Amino acid sequence: MSPSLSAQRERIDSTRGGRSATQGDDDRRPKSGDISWERRYRNAVVGVDIAVILFCGAVSSVLWGNGLTGPWRIAGDATGIAATVAVLTLGSAAACRCWERQIVGQGSEEFNRVIKAFVIVAIALSIAALALKDSSIRPWVFGVLPVSAALVLGARWGMRRVLHRARARSRCMRPVLVAGSEDSVRKLIVRSMRARYHGWEVVAACTPSGRPGDEIAGVPVVGDLDAVPAGATTCGARIVAIGPAPEMDSTRLHHLSWELEGTTAELVVDPGLMEIGGPRLHMEPIDGLPLLRLTEPRFTGVSRLTKNAMDRLLATVLLVVLAPLFVPVAILVRRDGGPVFFRQTRVGLAGRPFSIIKFRSMVVDADGARDRLAGDDEGAGPLFKVKSDPRVTRIGATLRRYSLDELPQLVNVLTGSMSLVGPRPPLPHEVEAFSPEARRRLLVRPGLTGLWQVNGRSDLSWEAAVRLDLRYVENWTLALDLQILWKTVGAVIKGRGAY
């Protein structure tokens, strides 16, 4: 190793050490460059999956063994079919690459592949039962497999939570080298620091005019774009992330991919299409040239009908389940004086106004008192926010902290003016100040919860709230709705950012 590279490595290690020291327990914590955790975590996931599938098979063979008939009965019990289902499930999981290192513990693709593996087995068993005219397999298709899938998904979610907590303490991180223009490098660094649960720790950077000794957002620059392969080796990068830069053309990127072959580093390229992904991005090669085809967001068809049906069904169930809670809350609000419910005009789908319903959490005529608090406004853009708002009543503070004041909005969901998940419902004067990009929030119905709810609520700046709402609009899927609903439970219980 050349002296310059040695010096760079020492500088990177010292930078990492400095960051860790500020967080404590550095001697007891494995360094981010230690990647043995990846192997241990993947092995743990494989072991838990196998244990859950075998356990469900063993229990089901006892529960339904006496009911099996025909070709499914082997040696007088259900051992044969239980073993067959277990083997098919494990084989399907392997075929769907459920244990691939790149997806284990990362994103929604991990859960999508697990669901796909179980669905394939269920379809295969259904076809086999139909061909053999044997109805005794139904408990396996409609009972064992769904329960097994739920347990596997729950176990993986629990293990991911443990991983995320470790990453919050700077453990189990992947060292990353970022290359590109200074602006794109800075954005990637900031985003990786903001979302540490992804496990990216940017330890080095390369820019077109990069000089060793420079820094970008606290990350040392190890050279220009030609120094990326050597820099990746020097800092032990597991990921080389390439941001947009005029100098990083297709030829240069191609050669870089060749130079990284055989190393432990993966090449990740930022296409420059911020906040757009998932179902809207498609690969379309032209004469061997891979192109990204970007489709427009669609809010019609079967998906929209499914979302509407899910909204109304869940809203009905929640109203019935939570009805006993409405009475004591209404009594407490009434004791503060004034009406129980608060109605306010908001702007919904396609800019149509509607009346939102909430439990009143402020004094009567709170809107009229707003002008007196103009000097205390802590919000950015058109959003008005006061952290210690004197208009909030005693019971209102508690209602807001746990979002209980928003429960009557389930009626808005039931009537179709709102959705369970969507952008925050804006006020008319906020819409008047919307930029053209912010107006895209009106392409979908506003939601009772959304990405803004599970990512900081009122602590978010106006720009961050708009960015999250646009991310939802641009990448909406039913799976995203279910993920947000799940995260909302934790956000409401913790009560952070609610005032």
DSSP-assigned letters across all residues of 174-235: EEEEEES-HHHHHHHHHHHHHTGGG-EEEEEEE-TT--BTBEETTEEEEE-GGGHHHHHHHH
| 374 vs 91, higher pLDDT | 91
**How far is the C-alpha of 276 from the C-alpha of 441, rounded, in Å?**
14
Joined together, the tokens standing for residue 48 give: 């838990």
Which residues, 6+ apart, have CB-to-CB distance to 353 below 8 Å?
345, 346, 347, 428
What's the confidence (pLDDT) of residue 34? 54
Report pLDDT digits (tens) over 256-285: 999 988 888 889 988 776 566 666 676 677
| 144 vs 136, higher pLDDT | 144
Which residues, 6+ apart, have CB-to-CB distance to 374 below 8 Å?
none
What's the confidence (pLDDT) of residue 114? 92
Cα–Cα separations (whole angstroms), residue 442 to 26, 28, 65, 301, 483 = 48, 50, 55, 18, 22
Length of the chain: 499
Residue 352 clears pLDDT 70, i.e. is over it: yes
**How far is the C-alpha of 177 from the C-alpha of 204, rounded, in Å?**
5
**How far is the C-alpha of 329 from the C-alpha of 408, rounded, in Å?**
11
pTM: 0.67
Provide the CB-side half-sphere exposure for 34 (13 A, CA). 11
What's the confidence (pLDDT) of residue 28? 34
Closest CA relative to residue 265, chosen from 178, 150, 362: 178
Please tell me whether residue 420 adopts helix, strand or coil conformation: strand
DSSP single-letter state for residue 472: H
- Average pLDDT over the chain reads 81
**How far is the C-alpha of 151 from the C-alpha of 145, rounded, in Å?**
10
Please tell me whether residue 246 adopts helix, strand or coil conformation: coil
What's the confidence (pLDDT) of residue 79? 73
CA distance from start to end of the chain: 56
Please tell me whether residue 286 adopts helix, strand or coil conformation: strand
Residue 18 clears pLDDT 60, i.e. is over it: no
DSSP single-letter state for residue 322: H
Report pLDDT digits (tens) over 50-71: 999 999 888 877 766 554 444 4
DSSP single-letter state for residue 144: I
Joined together, the tokens standing for residue 45 give: 């996931």
Q: Which of 61-75, 145-159, 198-212, 415-429 is predicted with the least confidence, judged by mean pLDDT?
A: 61-75
What's the confidence (pLDDT) of residue 371? 63
106, with CB counted inside 10 A (0-12, 13-18, 19+), is middle
Cα-flanking dihedrals φ and ψ of residue 74, to 5°?
A: -125, 125
Contact between 479 and 306 under an 8 Å Cβ cutoff? The reply is no
Q: Average the pLDDT over 384-412 and give the result.
A: 83
Provide the CB-side half-sphere exposure for 320 (13 A, CA). 6
